[in-house]
Chains A and B, each alone.
Chain A
Amino acid sequence: MSEGGAAVVTSGLTKTFGHQTAVDDLALEVPTGSVYGFLGPNGSGKTTTIRMLLGLVHPTAGHVRLLDEPMPAHANRVLPRVGALVEGPAFHLHLNGRDNLRRLDAADATAEARTSSARIGAALERVGLTAAARKRVKNYSLGMKQRLGIAAALLQPHDLLVLDEPTNGLDPQGTREVRHLVAGLAHDGTTVLVSSHLLAEVEQMCSHVGVMSRGRLVAQDSLAGLRRAHGVRVRVTTPDLAQATDALTVLGLDEVASSAGEGASGQVTAALGDHAVEAVVPALVSAGVRVLGFSADSASLEERFVELTGEGFDVR
């Protein structure tokens, strides 16, 4: 069906609320079989995008294809193959965990009533909630609700799982269990789209990453590709800041920046780009720059993330 292709494709996907553009011209592509980390600060448009993918919110413009079918036109055909956790778990608080799952199973027109109890039991087992299944959800911790939400997404086998901040509210142990769960599902061939504002989490479980910032997709690649693309920055320690800056610029390096340090010497940094790292120091020396230190490092993914999304705390 969608073998080899993409499980999720959007083109020009846009959503405006009044004057505010929540999602702007999004071209998402989640390869089949990948674990796709949908990364971005809070308020960057991740949840609105997920709501559009699932047909809860109508796009202002653009198209969505899930598992090779147009959404929301074919929602009734596609969504039975998709499991979802959207913006935190939500249940009838006065019912117990098992009855809540029974309610959701009854809502699925493709679910067989005969196998309902067995499937519910298996899903509860898988998220470790069997012992608490008869407790009212009112008395669940946030972590337990989160597990129950994941259990609901596991009631049926799915080709695609959309998990919006699945580890929110979980303790470290629970977070690790979710990671294992996602890894296991991916191993079975389920494509997983998992949103998060935590880079470390995405780094640990994803094969692909899309980065959202202010409603736009600012990067999308495999994890390895994103690391590579960032490239190497050279760092020169020298008292001759101006000459060093000129020399690196003449050499053709981009993003040259200098900063005065303590005492007489400061630092000049630049993006190496396609240039040979061994050519840099001779060029500096021949320009008369006194090189006290030199290094070439690839920045961490975290720096890359901050660079892409901006550091500010302001949420629009």
Chain B
Amino acid sequence: MSVEARPVRPFAFWRLVGSEISLMLSRRRNQLGLVILAAVPVVMAVAIKTSGDTGLMVSVANGTVLPMLALMMESAFFLPLAMSLLAGDAIAGEAHGGTLRYLLVTPVGRARLLAVKFAGLLVGAFFGTFLIAVVGLVAGVMVFGSGASMTLSGTAITFTESLGRLALMALFLALMMTAVGTMGLFLSTLVDQPLAVTVGCMVVVILSWLTEATSQLAWLQPYLLTHWFLQFADVLRDPPLWSRAVKGLGVAAAWMAVTGAAAWARFTSKDIGS
């Protein structure tokens, strides 16, 4: 008997991406993480409302400011932590549990699996970032209304226009977080312990923040991802200044290219002994 060679099915890649996303969503830890990400803007809204100290909010009188503040706060630590956890599960987690060898003998193809894992991290980054934006927006509009908003330049823009700025900000941070995730994906190909990946990834993020706070290391700052997380503020001016946001995206693209290539080089040549 000889089994007929089966053709590769169309959409097979997307079927596996779908499987990857449902696997990420099936983990209790990840579900809890999403709840925490979403809770931050809600807590901020409640805190501002109940304290009665609505200074900034009253002056702008627009619900879009709340999700923007929440995104800025969470991009410092919570969002990178979420990406570090996902990256740890990506390859090291599968290796740790032994499921990696079964995926590879299926066969999934190492480069293809890496591409699927990257796609999963990309979706995770967008999902997390836009979750904060949407929950923050709903909470913000409920508490502060949907009036005209004031830009950082002091001019007023309409609610619709400020929605567009919010969407751009979430998009910008989602791409930044994808870069953090790609760096984590590389670490994930190095070891078989998901926790080591998460810790390693966070060490890089925290060291980057420390560098940001050390003026003697100013020359290094433009090369670090964290340096650009808050540069989106320029786009909140009127008219928006794009140059620094674009430069930040360039740095993120460079990180993705370098760490992605390193992950590929490592993973496609590695012995799977787990």
> Which residues of chain B have C-beta atoms less than 8 A from A2's C-beta?
2
Whether B7 contacts A110 by the Cβ 8 Å rule is: yes
Q: How far is the CA of A1 from the CA of B9 in the complex (A)?
A: 23
**Among B60-68, B106-114, B179-187, which stretch is in contact with chain A?**
B106-114
Report which of B2, B5, B108, B272 forms a contact with A107, defined as CB distance below 8 A. B108
Q: How far is the CA of A216 from the CA of B1 in the complex (A)?
A: 31
A125 within 8 A of B: no
Contact with A along B78-116 (1 / 0, CB 8 A): 000000000000000000011101111111110011000
Report which of B5, B97, B112 forms a contact with A80, defined as CB distance below 8 A. B5
A228 within 8 A of B: no
Whether A95 contacts B26 by the Cβ 8 Å rule is: yes
Whether A79 contacts B105 by the Cβ 8 Å rule is: yes
> Which residues of chain A have C-beta atoms less than 8 A from B15's C-beta?
106, 113
Q: How far is the CA of A51 from the CA of B98 in the complex (A)?
A: 13
A93 within 8 A of B: yes
> Who on chain A is nearest to B8 by CB?
A109
For window 6-63 of B, CB contacts with A under 8 Å fall at: 6-9, 11-13, 15-16, 18-19, 23, 26-28
Given the known interface contacts A92-B99, A93-B97, A104-B103, the answer about A159 and B2 at a Cβ–Cβ threshold of 8 Å is yes
Given the known interface contacts A112-B9, A189-B1, the answer about A88 and B106 at a Cβ–Cβ threshold of 8 Å is no
> Who on chain B is nearest to A52 by CB?
B271
Whether B98 contacts A90 by the Cβ 8 Å rule is: yes
A-B contact count (CB 8 A): 115
A111 within 8 A of B: yes
Shortest CB distance B219–A (Å): 41
Q: How far is the CA of A158 from the CA of B1 in the complex (A)?
A: 9
Report which of A84, A91, A94 forms a contact with B105, defined as CB distance below 8 A. A84
With most chain B CB atoms within 10 A of its CB, the pick from A91, A95, A109 is A109
> Which residues of chain A have C-beta atoms less than 8 A from B13's C-beta?
109
> Which residues of chain A have C-beta atoms less than 8 A from B11's C-beta?
113
> Who on chain A is nearest to B108 by CB?
A107
Q: How many residues of B contact A (CB 8 A)?
A: 37
B3 within 8 A of A: yes
> Which residues of chain B have C-beta atoms less than 8 A from A75's C-beta?
107, 109
A179 within 8 A of B: no
A306 within 8 A of B: no
Whether A90 contacts B271 by the Cβ 8 Å rule is: no
Whether A94 contacts B28 by the Cβ 8 Å rule is: yes
Shortest CB distance B47–A (Å): 35
B269 within 8 A of A: yes
> Which residues of chain A have C-beta atoms less than 8 A from B273's C-beta?
51, 56-57
Whether B271 contacts A57 by the Cβ 8 Å rule is: yes
With most chain A CB atoms within 10 A of its CB, the pick from B3, B9, B16, B272 is B3
Shortest CB distance A260–B (Å): 50
Assuming A79-B105, A92-B99, what are 16 further A-B pairs, CB within 8 angstroms?
Answer: A51-B271, A56-B271, A57-B273, A76-B107, A86-B105, A92-B23, A92-B97, A95-B23, A99-B26, A102-B19, A107-B19, A110-B7, A112-B9, A152-B102, A158-B3, A159-B1
Which 8 residue pairs are nearest across A and B when measured between Cβ atoms?
A90-B98, A189-B1, A79-B107, A110-B6, A106-B19, A109-B12, A56-B272, A107-B108
Interface residues of B (CB under 8 A from A): 1-3, 5-9, 11-13, 15-16, 18-19, 23, 26-28, 97-99, 101-109, 112-113, 269, 271-273
A-B contact pairs, 9 of them (CB 8 A): A80-B6, A82-B105, A87-B98, A91-B97, A94-B27, A99-B26, A109-B8, A110-B8, A159-B3
